[in-house]
Every structure is written in C-alpha cells, then in structure tokens.
Amino acid sequence: MFHYTIVQDGQTVEELLRDKWRLGKKIVHELRMAKAITLEDGTPVLWKDPLKAGTIIKFEYDIPASSYVPTDYCDVDIRYEDEHCLIVSKPKGMSTHPNDEWDRDTCMNHVMSYIDDNGGHYAEHVHRLDQGTKGLLLIAKHPIAKSIFDRMIEEKSIIRTYAAEVQGNIRTDSGTINAPIGKDRHHNTRRVVSPTGQHAVTHYEVVKRFKSTCVVHLVLETGRTHQIRVHLAHLGHPIVGDTMYNARQTASGDYELHAIQLEFLHPFLNESIVVKDQ
C-alpha cells in the first residue's frame, strides 16, 4: 500500500496513470479490476472524476513477493528510503543479483533481508552495477514504482554519475564517447566496441589530474554491460587496475569504479532527489 497526493488541480486517476506515469495497459487494467485506488478514507474513486490538488489517494493491492532469499542480516548501507524506493550503497566485490539459486550473498539478498525485517516482501533493482563496481543502486519497493523507474532509465531521466581513476591523462577536459558495445567472441565475459553492438553513450569530465593518471566523472546515457570500462579503454585510458581491459595490474589486483550519485525527479513525491555516495 502507498499514498499519492494529487498535484494538478482537476487531474483524474486515469490521467495520472496513463499520461503522467505512463503505466502499461496490463498494470492499469489490474489496478482497475482490483479496485485498488481509493480516497485516503477508503471511499471509492471514479477514474474519470477530476480531483482537487492536495487530494490524497490510496493504492492498495496484492503485491507479488520477490524471489530473493534474504540473508540473516542486511550488510549494505541504506542511503535513501521512502515508501516507493530504496537507494543502497553496494559494496565492491558483491554481485547486484543472484545468477543461480545457490547465489545468496548478493546485494538483492541483503536488501531483501532489510525489506523482510520491515514487513515487506517486494524489492527489485532498477539498474545494476558490475561486481567490481561499488556505489549507489536504485531499488523499487512495489511494481508500479518498478515500471515507472524502468521507463525513466530508458528515457535517461535518472542521472547516474560515476567516478574512476584512469591511466594517462585524457587530453580534453570533457567529452562524449559514442561507441556501440557488443560481446567479445573470444572472451565469455568481456565486451568490446563493435559496429554491430548496442548503442552506448558515456559523457565524461576530468576533475583531477596527476602525473600519470587522472580522475574522471562519468554520466551514463545508456546502460550496457561494462559500458564505462569498455568506453574508457576504447579511449586509450582504461581504469587503473582493470586488467580485463588492458590496464596495468595494481598492488590490490583490482580496479576502482564508484557510482557516486543518483539524481531524478521523484514520480510520486514530485520533488528532486539527489543522493551522493562519497
């Protein structure tokens, strides 16, 4: 169950669902059949009746349970929470989600432990981070939020900012890497820039320069597997320690890529959300 406050005077429930949130026909139909939307006191709402700004409507319907097996306790930090979403800080070395039924120590298993402890049973990640990447991950707490956030990711209205230290000094202070990414035929997990790959765009800005490396902030316009790692290597400046993409090995034997900020206009709260993970 969650609540929503009508912002636009005269808006109808149908306009909210179809025009503002642009929910799919299936979800809209399910909500209608379940009589899921009422006024705050439980009074039924006619979907085509205009509502006054400030009217609070209630959504109450059966939410399916997510399949992630909860860990004994949640070992990921919660950076932001409301009744629609969580933003967590995924540790380095932890997968976003299970890849098989025995994989039960992923970020989503830990998130499900937190959700379970707080009386919930649904959590689904909106995007993902590579196992070696740490930082902010957006989690939907109900299917309507998942549907809307998925669309926002596709429409590039959730701004994801990353930080990385790369080999060498990139000549320009800022730029855009627009290069399609596909699978490497010779390596099971590696990706390469390929003319037959998927459209991929990364924007970068150099924020600090050292003698033989520089620190860049990157904003993803698309979300392909290993996108930042592939694009920086393609530019000739792989992330320090990212040996999969031809960087020199570091003493730690690892690379540093950090999802440092998420920014979006919250579709339910109608306010700008900016969460940082420094």
Share of the chain above pLDDT 70, in %: 100
Is the pLDDT reported for residue 89 higher than 90? Answer: yes
CA distance linking residue 137 with residue 100, whole number of Å:
21
Mean pLDDT, to the nearest integer, of 68-89? 96
**Sequence spans of domains, the chain:** 2-59, 77-155, 160-259
φ and ψ at residue 122, rounded to 5 degrees: -130, 130
pLDDT of residue 254: 84
pLDDT of residue 188: 85
pLDDT of residue 278: 73
Place 216 in a pLDDT band, splitting at 50, 70 and 90: very high
Query: For 77-155, which CATH class?
Result: alpha beta
Say whether 77-155 and 2-59 share the same fold.
Answer: no
pLDDT of residue 263: 97
> Would residue 254 show up in a list of annotated catalytic residues for this protein?
no
User: Which CATH superfamily groups domain 160-259?
Assistant: Pseudouridine synthase (3.30.2350.10)
Query: For 2-59, which CATH class?
Result: alpha beta
Which residues of the chain form beta strands (DSSP E)? 2-5, 37-39, 56-59, 77-81, 85-90, 124-125, 133-140, 159-167, 174-178, 181-183, 191-193, 201-209, 213-220, 257-265, 272-276
Residue of 116, 130, 242, 277 with catalytic role: 130
- Model pLDDT for residues 93-109, shown as the tens digit of each residue: 999 999 888 889 999 99
**Of 105-114, 213-222, 242-251, minimum mean pLDDT range:** 242-251
pLDDT of residue 71: 95
Mean pLDDT, to the nearest integer, of 16-36? 94
CA distance linking residue 134 with residue 238, whole number of Å:
17
Mean pLDDT, to the nearest integer, of 212-226? 93
pLDDT of residue 119: 94
Is the pLDDT reported for residue 176 higher than 80? Answer: yes
Place 223 in a pLDDT band, splitting at 50, 70 and 90: confident
- The dihedral of CA 88, 79, 82, 52: what is its sign? negative
Q: Return the bridge partners of 47, or none.
A: none
